[in-house]
């Protein structure tokens, strides 16, 4: 059966889904994916919201007869593909395809570390003890060991770090529970399956391990399909770089101390060295201001007087712990593993301290309770191209947001995809009839102190019009928190008891569930909610975006890239910053219309969208909504659409 027959109005898909209609864009994308798989080629595919891109790549992938890896940007979509979408397509096509889900090892219960957690008793709260008991019960019943299946224990619960393994602290074949290992079982299933569902982080972790000659997590395959491919450049930069995190150092110190108490009780110098390292990690963080920040390495000595001394102490104590571990490594495999970790961290830290002339920026990310020392490559295109031509594979890069003003040059340049076929399919939604883009007049400058208050003031009539049912999306956490206070106060003054949800007051999943279940809900959020969110119908009728999402000018990686592009004689704003902002803005705007019956308002409060010459590039990259700058016009638009919707329902 051809793809045209499969996607036809009277085909198998139509039989499976009541109300199914052929979408030419979906069929065209499926045909492009099919030819790419057959030719072992490269395809960049932008498919607008509502195209049905998931089925457009799954149908030809499952019919191809080859081994396929599907990589997603989020674990949520990964679980959805594995549990729902791929089995559905398999049943419709009636093909004997086996499927495996593979996540990073931190997602699987580790029998050894579960046992250690119970014996060591390093609990921070009573909640940890209760969670541990639930996990122990789950570990006896589960086949997969995937922590997502452990009901009653939050995905971000503190106990998970104690009962899962990392690449650093896994004992491998020396583990007493090796034959029962959930990670090994998941990898074995992946090796044997026809379709393996992973996420971008795991994909690049595997690429990094292969480049290091340390083995292969993912099986050899005939095709790799990236969904949410717009996230790839950022994830690739992370994995092609090097990082030393405070958490790694603290975990090493704690593991070394715990193992020393078991197999080297008579050697007091080891726990002392571990405690000394843990102390200097805390001291190093205290050398900086309490609030989070990002700085290039070359600025640190001038900005922070205690930095140089704290760094020397960190290097010294890590070196001393490595020396003590080396002396005791023969007394147990666990101590030998700790020594290997200490040695690797010491080498990475030494390389960070003394940058060579490589095309990488060395910088620090200061978090509320710790830090990360990064060496990030400025150009990953050549590194990624090595993967593209390592073996005869087909590569498909799919997303709703890859092109900027109908050009894929930005995405191609980031990943070196100069040989790829580029295709774009517009959304089947009638945006001019379904959505209004409103840019209010007379807004202050985006960097002015009163800007956020003015955003809320201009959004307030729309919130009343839509009775809540809104996302308010901000480009900074500070603005998000200020807006939350202002909206809460306005509702109180108006005597309206509408729920106002704030990013950070629960996990993303919890907040979304509350939003969907609460009439009149308003969600105030930052970048976390700009993408990967699907709320259909009246429940989301208004999306407000405060500013154009340009990366902060003081971001160390951005600054270094701008400098590098300038040296190459290129315009960093036009070639990098503007395309990046356009793609991010498209993601935020894409939250509004998720179905052909949805209607709503997108308010972008930043006048640069209209006033600046480059604004045209940005709004031309957005869906073709009805556009206005007048409040009464957008109010009439929404009222008319709402009235039409009621009449349609009545009929």
Residue 216 main-chain phi, psi, to 5 deg: -140, 120
Indicate the class that CATH gives domain 3-104+185-239+379-425.
alpha beta
Position 609 confidence tier, pLDDT thresholds 50, 70, 90? very high
DSSP string for residues in 593-632: --STT--EEEEE--THHHHSTTHHHHHHHS---EEES-HH
pLDDT for position 334: 84
pLDDT tens figures, 411-448? 999 999 999 999 999 999 999 999 999 999 989 999 99
Judge residue 65's burial from the number of C-beta atoms within 10 Å of its C-beta, 0-12 exposed, 13-18 middle, 19 or more buried.
exposed
Position 132 confidence tier, pLDDT thresholds 50, 70, 90? very high
pLDDT for position 213: 40
Mean pLDDT of the chain: 91
The C-alpha atoms of residue 19 and residue 57 are separated, in whole angstroms, by 21
> Given a cut of 90, is residue 136 above it in pLDDT?
yes
Q: Where are the beta strands (DSSP E) in 179-222?
A: 195-199
User: What value does the mean pLDDT take over residues 315-333?
Assistant: 93
pLDDT for position 401: 92
pLDDT for position 205: 81
pLDDT for position 211: 46
pLDDT over 70, % of the chain = 96
pLDDT for position 93: 95
Least confident of 251-265, 282-296, 408-422: 251-265
pLDDT for position 647: 63
pLDDT for position 216: 59
User: Taking phi first (over 0 means left), then psi (-120 to 50 degrees means alpha), and beta for anything else, what does residue 213 get?
Assistant: left
pLDDT tens figures, 332-346? 888 898 999 999 999
Q: What are the C-alpha distances in Å from 517 to residues 467, 471, 508, 520?
A: 15, 15, 14, 10
Domain ranges of the chain: 3-104+185-239+379-425, 109-164, 240-377, 431-650
pLDDT for position 606: 96
> Given a cut of 70, is residue 645 above it in pLDDT?
no
Written as six digits, the tokens of 377 are 């490559």
pLDDT for position 123: 75
Written as six digits, the tokens of 419 are 């040989």
pLDDT for position 499: 96
Q: Which tops the pLDDT comparison, 123 or 266?
A: 266
pLDDT tens figures, 54-73? 999 999 999 999 999 999 98
pLDDT tens figures, 267-278? 889 999 999 999
CATH code of the region 240-377? 1.20.1440
User: What value does the mean pLDDT take over residues 3-8?
Assistant: 95
CATH superfamily of 431-650: P-loop containing nucleotide triphosphate hydrolases (3.40.50.300)
- 3-104+185-239+379-425 and 240-377, same CATH topology: no
CA angle, 472 then 478 then 480, to 5°: 10
User: What value does the mean pLDDT take over residues 544-554?
Assistant: 91
């Amino acid at each position: 059966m051809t793809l045209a027959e499969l996607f036809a109005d009277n085909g198998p898909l139509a039989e499976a889904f009541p109300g199914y209609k052929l979408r030419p864009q979906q069929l065209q994308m499926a045909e492009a994916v099919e030819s790419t798989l057959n030719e072992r080629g490269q395809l960049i595919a932008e498919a607008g919201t509502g195209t049905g891109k998931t089925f457009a790549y799954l149908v030809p992938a499952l019919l191809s007869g080859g081994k396929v890896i599907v990589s997603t940007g989020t674990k949520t979509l990964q679980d959805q593909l594995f549990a729902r979408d791929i089995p559905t397509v398999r049943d419709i096509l009636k093909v004997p395809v086996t499927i495996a889900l593979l996540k990073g090892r931190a997602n699987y219960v580790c029998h050894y570390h579960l046992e250690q957690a119970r014996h060591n008793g390093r609990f921070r709260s009573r909640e940890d003890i209760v969670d541990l008991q639930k996990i122990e019960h789950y570990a006896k019943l589960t086949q997969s060991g995937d922590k997502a299946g452990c009901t009653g224990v939050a995905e971000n619960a503190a106990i998970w770090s104690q009962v899962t393994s990392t690449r650093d602290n896994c004992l491998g074949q020396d583990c007493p529970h090796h034959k029962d290992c959930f990670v090994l079982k998941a990898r074995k299933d992946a090796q044997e399956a026809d379709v393996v569902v992973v996420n971008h982080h795991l994909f690049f972790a595997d690429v990094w391990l292969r480049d290091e000659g340390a083995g292969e997590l993912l099986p050899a395959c005939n095709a790799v399909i990236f969904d949410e491919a717009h996230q790839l450049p950022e994830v690739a930069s992370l994995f092609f770089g090097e990082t030393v995190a405070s958490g790694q150092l603290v975990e090493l110190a704690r593991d070394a101390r715990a193992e020393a108490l078991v197999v080297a009780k008579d050697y007091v110098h080891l726990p002392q060295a571990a405690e000394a390292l843990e102390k200097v990690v805390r001291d190093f963080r205290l050398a900086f201001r309490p609030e989070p920040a990002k700085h290039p390495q070359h600025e640190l000595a001038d900005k922070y007087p205690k930095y140089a001394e704290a760094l020397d102490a960190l290097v010294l104590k890590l070196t001393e712990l490595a020396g003590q571990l080396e002396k005791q490594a023969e007394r147990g495999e666990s101590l030998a593993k700790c020594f290997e970790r200490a040695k690797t961290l010491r080498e990475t830290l030494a390389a960070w301290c003394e940058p060579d002339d490589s095309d990488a920026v060395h910088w620090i990310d200061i978090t509320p309770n710790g830090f990360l020392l990064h060496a990030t490559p400025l150009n990953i295109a050549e590194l990624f191209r090595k993967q593209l031509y390592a073996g005869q594979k087909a590569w498909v890069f799919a997303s709703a947001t890859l092109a900027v003003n109908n050009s894929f040059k930005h995405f191609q340049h980031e990943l070196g995809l100069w040989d790829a076929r580029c295709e774009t399919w517009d959304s089947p939604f009638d945006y001019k009839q379904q959505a209004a883009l409103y840019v209010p007049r007379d807004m202050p400058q985006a960097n002015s102190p009163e800007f956020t208050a003015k955003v809320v003031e201009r959004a307030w009539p729309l919130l009343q019009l839509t009775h809540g049912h809104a996302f308010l999306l901000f480009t900074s956490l500070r603005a998000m928190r200020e807006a939350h206070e202002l909206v809460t106060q306005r509702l109180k003054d108006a005597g309206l008891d509408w729920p106002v949800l704030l990013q950070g007051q629960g996990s993303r999943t919890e907040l979304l569930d509350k939003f969907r279940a609460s009439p009149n809900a308003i969600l105030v959020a930052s970048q976390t909610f700009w993408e990967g969110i699907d709320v259909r119908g009246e429940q989301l009728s208004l999306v407000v975006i405060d500013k154009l999402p340009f990366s902060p000018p003081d971001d160390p990686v951005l600054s270094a890239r701008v400098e590098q592009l300038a040296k190459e004689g290129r315009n960093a704003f036009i070639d990098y910053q503007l395309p990046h902002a356009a793609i991010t803005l498209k993601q935020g705007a894409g939250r509004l219309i998720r179905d052909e019956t949805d209607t709503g308002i997108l308010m972008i409060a930043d006048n640069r969208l209209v006033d600046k010459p480059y604004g045209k590039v940005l709004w031309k990259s957005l869906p073709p909504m009805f556009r206005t700058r007048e409040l009464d016009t957008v109010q009439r638009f929404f009222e008319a659409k709402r009235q039409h919707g009621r009449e349609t329902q009545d009929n």
